[in-house]
A and B are shown apart, each in its own frame.
Chain A
Amino acid sequence: MTQWEVVIGLEIHAQVTTQSKLFCSCSTQFGSTPNTQVCPVCTGMPGALPVLNRTVLDKAITLGLATHCTINEHNEFARKNYFYPDLPKGYQISQLDKPICSLGYLDVEVDGSTRRIGLTRIHMEEDAGKLVHQGSDNIKGATHSLVDLNRSSVPLVEIVSEPDIRSAKEAKAYMESMAQIVRWLGVCDGNLEEGSLRCDANISLRPKGTETLGTKTEVKNLNSFKSVERAILLEIERQTDILDEGGTIIQETRHYNEATNSTKSLRSKEEAHDYRYFPDPDLVPIAIDRAWVSRIEQTLPELPTARHKRYQTELGLSDYDAGKMTVDRETGDFFEATLSLGSSAKEIANWLNGDISAWLKEHSSTLAICKLTPAHLAEMLKELINGTISGKIAKQLVDDMLETGTHPSTLIKEKGLAQVNDTGAINQMIDIVLSENPKAVEDLKAGKVQTMGFIVGQVMRKSQGKANPDQVNKRLKELFSLS
């Protein structure tokens, strides 16, 4: 039986993070009352004209540079013409033969090895509005449909990959990696639930060892990482079955249903739209000169994969910790800032991965919006290392710092949290605890070392966690001649 090679190309639509829409000054905020973020331009009123939001250009160039693309000097917007009730002008303003970026790549880690996925192009375009069907979840069968144009003309970049992807797993890894980069760069918030990142996949099979591309199908509506993987697996299986039985693949567009994990045909090649692209005469071509590109090049941050490697080689972090510290820009920058204040990389990683992330998760917060600052964390770690506070107090402090934003030294002073290192005071507390627990004293005398933990615990409790546990241990060992 023929062995099939899978050939996949992905088209990712990422909503560009901006205050205002691509061609008007309406807000892009998600979830507002329908048709409250609209104006004559984004509702396609007769006579209204688009004016480009230049922030989008800068962000598209940023993404292009980060993915090793050529930034094209000559940029042009084109009209993609088709009728649909959520498309107010009857055309979408997009880019065709003069996109902002072309011919780049993204290195993706899959199963411990690096795969280089080529990028054909990245172009800018506007989003359509949204239809809310009444009486059916589909336009067919609905009694009527309502149109919400809040999303109309929200800026998108479409990232088109080369057919370089060879498995569903790779596709998912590529999509995750791209999501990480667009978030990292601040190009897109990467919010899949709100549709900020959407994906279509072009899938075909060919006999292993051959070069010619097989007939492809396009699977649409892949709105989560899981969907990307599952829908592609499904389509590979469907195509394999057809080919194994000697059938032929029909070039078509298929729609993926996440709920039922199935795809169904939307339209065949014959029914495909003729979009009648032509340069939009309402928008003048944009020339992007070298100076523009280098201005953006200078603001380009170190990318997550490069940083991940650096943390392992230069800071000695484990692969796991390095990955965690570069998971997003907030964490990465927080880590860097704390590091620059003299804290140890491993310590910061431990705290960020442990108590801090647990607190953030519990309070549905993030590093960006919580009250903890790198300076406060660094200060707390300093006090911990030099023994002013115990590890237990540190845990308590971090919660307070996250909650209130108070400087750790203020908290230590106000709450009297400084570790008790005074031998006299510690010895006194031990004496009291021993006198209260004669049974334990008997056990210790009999050499039952396990009981030591209990006594240490009692002393710590009595000192409200402030006694230096090392000193408590040392004193008990002396008293009972334990080693």
Chain B
Amino acid sequence: MPLIHKPATELHELIKTKQVSSRDVTEAFLAQIHHVEPSLNAFLTLTDDLALSMADAVDQKVSKGLPLGPLEGVPIAIKDNICTENIPTTCASTILKGFLPPYNATLIETLKQAGLPILGKTNMDEFAMGSSTETSAYQKTHNPWNVDCVPGGSSGGSAVAVAGFEAPLSIGSDTGGSIRQPASFCGNVGLKPTYGRVSRYGLIAFASSLDQIGSFANNVTDTAHLLNLLAGHDPKDSTSLALEKEDFTRLLGSPKKGLRVGLPNEFFKHLSPEVKALYTTLINTLSQDGIEFVWLDLPSIEYALATYYIIAPAEASSNLARYDGVRFGFRAAGTSSTAEMIEQSRSQGFGAEVKRRILIGTYVLSSGYYDAYYKKAQKVRTLIKKDFDRAFEQVDIIASPTTPTPAFKLGEKTNDPLEMYLSDIMTIPLNLAGLPGLSIPCGLHNNLPMGWQLMGKAFDEARLLQVAHQMESLIGFGGCA
């Protein structure tokens, strides 16, 4: 098996036992990148030199007989909304064209410490607003399963990097499904940890109360090992929680006895008969293995999409106010006053979807509308959380399809924002509740992968990964070779 098809944990073992060098591994992925990028367009910036120098540092440790940390030497790709010092970080927006952050996100510091060579920055929907990576100001990313299809979004580049064997691991961010939905479309494992589990310091904010950094990998084991690195309290992020360090791989391989999985009726309502059949078969297969499924109701879920499209744009309208052309990024030329400079820089620097959300957000926060929209949305958000709390009194895990359909065609939904928003209908509730979730591949529909979303209790990622690992081995999904 070529190196690039091997799981991250296996690559790490090979490096540790001197069977291959980190440079060999990194070069193999860089070669694949240069080979497939013309058709996939997953990366916005490649950092070959950085990756190779980091790989060499790991190899030196190995040659000196120094011990390696978890996943050390295994390369990784980073979504372009995570600040990398002196490396372009654009959020796929014109307004941040050429922006070189003066600092590293906490996550990047962690990865540098841990010795995971950074391959480059991946394409995304502009400011993570979108579900197909098509709102990127720079390029369209293609789904490796079918290059006429979108990879999903907003972390489409990171999903494709792993699905196209350009990277064994990648980092994304998930505000309303931006990791789980593209993982589902690209047939890999995408994890969104509990809100507060991974530091947001240096993650360029879209909607602060919903944004969470997470990962893409080829399997659940790699995902669990990577979470061991990502998780942890950061004094620079007031919303990150100070919890004991834990090993998220500790429950892998020991299936939970008497596992009860909840199936929310609401998530199975709007599926096409074919898709529904796929999941019915899946549930039957898993049931035969002793997993007990329980149908339950999450009545407030009906309002999740509407709630999300008030809270997320409201926060975004404020978070994106700093892009004014004053201190960094794009500044419109030929303006004659400060007000005009700010207005023109924003008019020219933001794309249509970003403007749409800023407008919605500005509207719902306006005096006279705040109570009717933003305040009410926060109340509904509390109800959604309570629905989940109640459900978790009966079950260990909640499961659903990750998306109502497999990947759609490029351009198919770009003119219909509402249709586009609906593709996140299954993933959004979890962000509103702040809970952890992941998507694992569970089958094909029209030769495109479908995802199985597993949702856990807050800070119960170890259990979530245990169950995902158990189901992963039962499903036996092959991947995109």
A: which residues have CB within 8 A of B?
40, 43-52, 79, 81, 83, 85, 88-91, 139, 145, 147, 274, 276-278, 281-284
Contact = CB atoms under 8 A, between A and B. Distances in A.
A46 B326 contact: no
A47 B83 contact: yes
Contact of B367 (A46, A47, A276): A276
B338 A45 contact: no
Contacts of A281: 207-209, 239, 315
B236 A49 contact: yes
Contact of A46 (B91, B338, B374): B91
Interface in B280-328: 314-315, 317-318, 320-324, 326-328
A92 to B, nearest CB: 11
A83 B345 CA distance: 13
A336 B203 CA distance: 54
A91 B318 contact: yes
B102 interface: yes
Contact of A284 (B200, B205, B239, B324): B239
B365 A51 contact: no
7 contacts: A46-B204, A46-B205, A48-B201, A51-B236, A51-B237, A276-B370, A281-B208
Given A85-B338, A147-B327, A276-B366, A47 B203 contact: yes
B318 A278 contact: yes
Contact of B321 (A40, A85, A91, A284): A91
Nearest to B240: A49
A95 to B, nearest CB: 15
Contact of A283 (B101, B238, B324, B342): B238
B96 interface: yes
Interface in B196-243: 200-205, 207-209, 235-239
A49 B326 contact: no
A194 to B, nearest CB: 25
A43 B395 CA distance: 46
A46 B236 contact: no
B151 to A, nearest CB: 24
B318 A276 contact: yes
Most buried by B among A40, A51, A83, A276: A276
Given A51-B235, A281-B209, A276 B315 contact: no
B44 to A, nearest CB: 15
A46 B238 contact: no
Given A147-B326, A281-B209, A81 B365 contact: yes
Interface string B180-207: 0000000000000000000011111101
A40 B318 contact: no
A50 B208 CA distance: 12
Contacts of A278: 314-315, 318, 365, 370, 374
A88 B207 CA distance: 18
A29 B370 CA distance: 38
B365 A139 contact: no
Given A46-B99, A283-B238, A284-B238, 5 more contacts: A47-B81, A47-B204, A49-B200, A51-B235, A281-B209
Contact of A83 (B89, B315, B324): B324
A83 B314 CA distance: 16
B4 interface: no
B105 interface: yes
Contacts of B136: none
Nearest to A282: B208
B399 interface: no
A147 B203 CA distance: 25
A282 B374 CA distance: 17
B318 A81 contact: yes
The 9 lowest CB-CB distance pairs between A and B, nearest first, are A90-B321, A276-B365, A281-B209, A281-B208, A46-B204, A47-B202, A44-B322, A47-B83, A47-B204
A168 B366 CA distance: 36
Contacts of A79: 318
A90 B318 contact: yes
A85 B326 CA distance: 6
A83 B209 contact: no
Nearest to A52: B238
Interface of B: 81-83, 89, 91, 96, 99, 101-103, 105, 200-205, 207-209, 235-239, 314-315, 317-318, 320-324, 326-328, 338-339, 342, 362, 365-367, 370, 374
A83 B321 contact: yes
B108 to A, nearest CB: 10
B314 A145 contact: no
B238 A89 contact: no
A45 B207 CA distance: 16
B326 A89 contact: no
A93 B318 CA distance: 11
Nearest to A41: B236
A145 B338 contact: yes
Nearest to A275: B367
Contacts of A40: 101-103
A89 B322 contact: yes
Contacts of A52: 238
Contacts of B342: 83, 85
Contacts of B318: 79, 81, 90-91, 276, 278
A85 B201 CA distance: 24
Nearest to B374: A278
Most buried by B among A46, A147, A277: A46
Nearest to B341: A85
Nearest to A43: B327
Nearest to A77: B238
A276 B338 contact: no
A51 B315 CA distance: 18
A403 B338 CA distance: 54
Contacts of B374: 278
A257 to B, nearest CB: 22
B38 to A, nearest CB: 30
Nearest to A144: B338
A293 B338 CA distance: 45
B101 A47 contact: yes
Contacts of A147: 326-327
B213 to A, nearest CB: 11
Contact of B322 (A46, A50, A139, A145): A46
B370 A46 contact: no
Contacts of B321: 81, 83, 89-91
Contacts of B204: 46-47
A48 B327 CA distance: 14
A201 to B, nearest CB: 24
A40 B83 CA distance: 11
Contacts of B339: 83
A79 B321 CA distance: 11
A43 B323 CA distance: 12
A189 B421 CA distance: 53
Contact of B205 (A47, A51, A81, A276): A47
Contacts of A81: 317-318, 321, 365
Contacts of A89: 321-322
Contacts of A274: 366-367
Given A45-B328, A51-B236, A276 B362 contact: yes
A283 B318 CA distance: 14
Contacts of B338: 85, 139, 145
A284 B91 CA distance: 26
A350 B314 CA distance: 63
Contacts of A91: 318, 321
Most buried by B among A89, A90, A147, A283: A90
Nearest to B365: A276
Contact of B238 (A48, A90, A277, A282): A282
Nearest to B315: A281
B309 to A, nearest CB: 16
A47 B323 CA distance: 12
B101 A46 contact: yes
Given A83-B342, A85-B326, A90-B322, A51 B367 contact: no
B83 A50 contact: no
A49 B370 contact: no
